[in-house]
Amino acid sequence: MTNHTETSESNKAGGLDRFLVTFQKGDIIFFERDIEDIAYMIKQGKVRLIRIVNGVEKFVGTVSDGDFFGEMSLLANTARSATAIAVEETQAFRISKVNFDLLVKSNTTIATKVLTLTAERIAKQQRQLQILLLHDEESQVLDTLLMLYEGLNTPQKENVSINITPYELTTWAGVNIENTKRILAGYQESRRISVFPDRIIIQNINELERIVSSRRKLVATTDPAS
C-alpha cells in the first residue's frame, strides 16, 4: 500500500502544489504489477526503481529532482513495470490521468518532457531486452557494463570508470551477487577490468564490445527460433 502524507502546500490553489505529497525514506510508492493511472514528478528527493526478474532483484534506475516516473501506467493503462521506493525523504507531485490531461493543456513543457522521457525509457527497455536474450550470465554482466558505458555518452574507450557497485551491477544484469562477483573476479584477474567498492573501471571498451558481439552472434546461430 502506498504510504504518503499530503503536505500543507497541497491546499494552495492552482499550479502543481495542490498535487504535492511527501514520502519518507523506505516508503513503497507503488509495487510492480500494480494497476493505477497515477504518475509522479519529483520536486525534491530520490526514488529507486527495481524489478524482479527470475527471482532476482534487478535495478532499473534512480530518479531525482525534476524526473517523472510511473508515466507508462498513466499513458497506456498498463500494470506497473517496476517497484518504486523512496531512497530519502521525497516530495513529489502525484498526477492522475484527469490532472495530467489538464496539465498538458495548460503546460506544453510538461507534455514535451513526458513524451521525451517515455521515448528514452522505451529505448532503454529494448536495450535491456537485448541483454536478457544473451542467456548466459557472463554475457549478461559484460553487456550490462557496455549499456552503462553507452549511457555515459563519452568518446573515451580506455580506462573508463563506471560509478556502480558490484551489487548494483547484479541488480542491473539480473544475475545473483555470487556469480557476478565470480565473473568480475575473472576479468579482473585477466586485467580487463578493475573492481572497486564504488566503481568498475573497464580497461578497453573495444575489447569488451568484441567479446559481447561474438557471444551475441553465437546465440543467433544456435537459437532454434532464428
Same-domain pairing of 142 and 65: no
Same-domain pairing of 96 and 70: yes
Cα separation, 10 vs 16, in Å, equals 8
Cα separation, 126 vs 76, in Å, equals 17
pLDDT higher than threshold 80 for residue 3: no
Q: The whole model's pTM is what?
A: 0.54
Within 157-204, residue ranges assigned H as helices are 166-173, 177-189
Cα separation, 195 vs 182, in Å, equals 12
Count of CA atoms in the C-beta half-sphere (13 A) of 49: 16
In a domain, residue 198? The reply is: yes
- Interior angle at CA 42, CA 24 and CA 4, nearest 5: 30
What is the reported pLDDT for 11?
A: 37
Which of 167 and 187 is assigned the larger pLDDT?
187
Look up the CATH number of the domain holding residue 67: 2.60.120.10
Same-domain pairing of 88 and 43: yes
> Which of 74, 101, 123 is a domain's end point?
123
pLDDT higher than threshold 70 for residue 173: yes
Same-domain pairing of 15 and 117: yes
pLDDT higher than threshold 50 for residue 8: no
Element (H, E) at 209: helix 205-222
Same-domain pairing of 92 and 140: no
Query: 499550479: which residue's cell?
Result: 15
In a domain, residue 157? The reply is: yes
**For 2-11, 22-31, 97-106, which range has the lowest pLDDT when averaged over its residues?**
2-11
In a domain, residue 99? The reply is: yes
In a domain, residue 150? The reply is: yes
Same-domain pairing of 36 and 96: yes
Element (H, E) at 204: strand 199-204
Instruction: Supply the range of the domain harboring residue 165.
Output: 133-222
What is the reported pLDDT for 200?
A: 95
Same-domain pairing of 64 and 152: no
In a domain, residue 128? The reply is: no
Same-domain pairing of 116 and 148: no
Same-domain pairing of 119 and 149: no
In a domain, residue 62? The reply is: yes
Exposure of 124 by Cβ count < 10 A (0-12 exposed, 13-18 middle, 19+ buried)? middle
Same-domain pairing of 64 and 151: no
Nearest to 174 by CA among 33, 50, 87, 82: 50
Q: Are 92 and 40 in contact (CB under 8 A)?
A: yes
Same-domain pairing of 17 and 116: yes
Kindly indicate the confidence band of residue 223, based on its pLDDT and cuts at 50, 70 and 90.
Answer: low
- The count of domains in the chain is 2
Same-domain pairing of 139 and 196: yes
What is the reported pLDDT for 130?
A: 74
The rounded mean pLDDT for the chain is 82
